[in-house]
Structure 1
């Protein structure tokens, strides 16, 4: 006799509740979410199918609430395993260790319950953090598809160590684990174009930041989460997440650079939602914050922002607002101010400069900048940079019979670039 496969606990609970199909449960969960006052939550049969698979993903916070309320059982009793593991064989379904900080605020499962601390030397936390730091640096030069599996494996190790460690090593591991998950989420969102996967990873980063009681790191995670709705035009969701990010930043000593970055993130979300006026105001405020400065240093892990990158944000917003002469000037200044190690952002600036020239009706200059972007992408792949080049090519459609545009097509659709684009 063959044993049933998949998450049989959830399937049994679904059938017992009168939902004969996965679509029936999906519809019931979406309707129940509305009655609970949860806005914008839509669950499909595909999601239920993933939950009933052999390795069901840990549901997102809102989904957790709806599942538990509708089916009347805890998540563990429904066949889900917390990403941080359990207390071991003695754990009982429905009992969850207490949580604190960020995890409590967002309804995430806690990691406070853990097995007895293993006899690890004190250097384990330092060594784990050292690898985290190395991955952070490798991100700017190593192909993201190659780095991502290593970062994920490192996070898996961190979860094991976190369950076994005692203070003060445990706090060091938790913060390094939060940074590791944040890096994995950044790769998934910016490089691999997997926003749904990135959202789940950012939630894990947020929980680890809560375990470390690191509000600034939590703020950084939530601000990254704002990009996800912001890039698809969901202004309300992006704004709500930015409000949360700013709230966490106020709970600690945030540097001027960090506060300016929050303005820049909200500005980019606003730009993608069509509100370039507010975005330019936010960027102006960020520039003033950087000029004023303060006594607080930026955290070591914040290596994705600088005045040059703020200028790049500004140039893109000016471009989309139709302020073409200003955009050209700003982007050229940003390009000149960039330091070694900012090659990924450089491809974005080249793409935006190409877009400016295309809008001015200068196809030759546009193709030249697009070619420079492709030169850099051949060395350091960045999906966001390639997106900019492809947008420029669409803008050059009226000039597609010109030699410079055909030459660009030859480069844009060579073997390696085509495979890289289509594989993503």
Structure 2
């Protein structure tokens, strides 16, 4: 069987521009970014290889600008398919290479004129959004591997509808599409532990939010994107994305709850990058914001955060800071206050409680909480919760010959749990 030819359009344009190798183009992009006033952009040969594959991902906005500058063609003419389903320019017409989302230091680009005849009714945005809202509610109970394909199919529908829809329905549709991509990215990162895929999905979410001109949704997406480098210890990249998220939030009517959530995200990034004391300061700032309140209501889609979830962030941070009695008390209060539909969050809290007991030299209590987390994971899978349990098991190595730890191993490595974890 012959292999797919890949993105021959980009390869041909690269060779025609004098870049004989993928590495040469990667180096040229990095150099040209500086001349265009774009700081911190670096592209490797691996990324160029992905662009020249049979299914090239849509480039980031800054890369979009640099590629068009270097190769003199639109993204569609270079073999990329826009996530909103736009059509290719006709041969001989002027190319519109303006990015669809704001570039740092630049004014927001306007939405390009529609290139197809408007065929969708004015209710299409609201109708599409109703399904998006249903998926949002299903997230808390439906298995991620089951829900994820349905959400992706919904985003494909949105991309097909967007070029056929006129404002104001177009903006409503784009906002719902951005939310659907955000949900898909959350599942990929938190539930399925696929950070690279989540990064691409969240970028598409950001592009759709730009189409909707929804700064709060853009802020939420950027904060989720900060988790990805944060969880690998890349503090500078995480904080840069949080700075962008806060900038977007200031453009909208952010609620006190929204600002507190941004603090909580940055606190988790600081904790993961080894500075739990900075994280505790951010948690205190978030608590102050919630206590003062604000004039603005939170958007409906902000259903992943609440005061009790802020306390869950706090308990984990106290654990990492070595404040074990405080962490134990905070996490117990969280576990008692979590609503029944927060099964995924409860696995994380149970894992953190197990870590507190392990750090305090109490292996039997640690194993008891870890097994409770596994019982819940058997009902509602959550990769983040499983990560917590595995971290606890590693800290229990000094007691690995104790019966309680062997009982945990029997539960952690039974047939169902092992196969389930490896499948995902």
Q: TM-score, normalised by structure 2?
A: 0.92
Cα separation, 2, equivalents of 1:378 and 1:198: 24
Deviation at 1:115, TM superposition (A): 3.9
Please give the alpha-carbon distance, in whole angstroms, between the structure 2 residues aligned to 1:28 and 1:331. 51
- Please say if 1:129 is aligned against 2:129: yes
> 1:189, 1:255 → 2: CA distance?
25
After superposition, the Cα gap between the structure-2 partners of 1:288 and 1:357, relative to the gap in structure 1 and judged at 3 Å, is same
Distance between the aligned counterparts of 2:29 and 2:83, measured in 1? Answer: 23
Which residue in the other structure is 2:290 paired with? 290
| CA distance in structure 2 between the aligned counterparts of 1:68 and 1:283, rounded to whole angstroms | 43
Deviations 1:265-285 (A, max 9, x none): 111111111111111011011
C-alpha contact 1:132 1:179 (8 A) present in aligned 2: yes
The answer to whether the 8 A contact 1:268-1:317 is kept is yes
Q: Residues of 2 paired with 1:129 and 1:351: CA distance?
A: 35
Give the Cα separation in 2 of the matches to 1:105 and 1:277. 32
Deviation at 1:189, TM superposition (A): 1.2
User: 1:81 and 2:74 equivalent?
Assistant: no
Match of 2:234 in 1: 234
**Separation (CA, whole Å) in 2 of partners of 1:390 and 1:3:** 39
Q: Deviations over 1:289-336 (max 9, x none)?
A: 111112321111110001111011001011111111111111111111
Are residue 328 (structure 1) and residue 328 (structure 2) matched? yes
Question: Hey, what does 1:151 align to over in structure 2?
Answer: 151
Q: Does 1:190 align with 2:169?
A: no
TM alignment of 1:196-345, pairs within 5 A: 196-345=196-345
Deviation digits for residues 82-139 of structure 1, max 9, x if unmatched? 2223345637686227666647878999763434444434433222111000100111
Write the distance in 2 (CA, Å) between the matches of 1:154 and 1:91. 32
Shift of 1:170: 1.5
**Residues of 2 paired with 1:106 and 1:398: CA distance?**
56
Structure 2 counterpart of 1:409: 409
Q: String of CA shifts for 1:210-247, please: whole Å, max 9, x gaps.
A: 22221111111111111111111122221121111112
**Residue 423 (structure 1) aligns with:** 423
C-alpha separation in 2, matches of 1:20 and 1:101:
31
Alignment partner of 1:250: what SS? Answer: helix
The secondary structure found in structure 1 opposite 2:79 is coil
How far, CA to CA, are the matches of 2:303 and 2:295 in structure 1?
19
Distance 1:30 1:89 in 2: 27
The reply to whether residue 138 of structure 1 matches residue 121 of structure 2 is no
User: Secondary structure of the equivalent of 2:339?
Assistant: coil
Q: Distance in 2 between matches of 1:205 and 1:141?
A: 23
Mapped to 2, the partners of 1:263 and 1:121 lie a distance apart of: 40
Deviation at 1:364, TM superposition (A): 0.5
CA contact (8 A) 1:352 1:388 kept: yes
**Consecutive unaligned residues in structure 2, runs of 5 or more:** none
Partner of 1:11: 11
- Distance in 1 (CA, whole Å) between partners of 2:249 and 2:91 is 36
1:54 aligns with 2:59: no
RMSD of aligned Cα (Å): 2.6
1:35-50 alignment runs, 5 A limit: 41-50=41-50
CA separation in 1, counterparts of 2:251 and 2:42?
33
Verify the 8 A CA contact 2:222 2:245 in the aligned structure 1.
Answer: yes
Deviation by residue 1:239-266 (Cα, 9 ceiling, x = unmatched): 1211111121112221111111011011
CA-CA distance at 1:415 after TM superposition: 1.6
CA contact (8 A) 1:61 1:107 kept: no
Query: Is 1:87–1:115's contact at 8 Å kept on the other side of the alignment?
Result: yes
Q: Cα offset for 1:40?
A: 5.2
Stretch of structure 1 that moved more, 183-192 or 7-16? 7-16
Name 1:178's counterpart in structure 2: 178
Check the 8 A contact 1:210/1:218 in 2, yes or no. Answer: yes
Contact map agreement 2:38 2:104 (CA 8 A) in 1: no
For structure 1, which segment, 238-247 or 135-144, has the greater mean C-alpha deviation from structure 2 after superposition? 238-247
Structure 2: how far apart are the matches of 1:407 and 1:106? 59
Aligned to 2:350: 350
CA contact (8 A) 2:58 2:82 kept: yes
DSSP-derived class of the 2:251 partner: coil
Distance change in 2, residues 1:106/1:346 (3 Å): farther
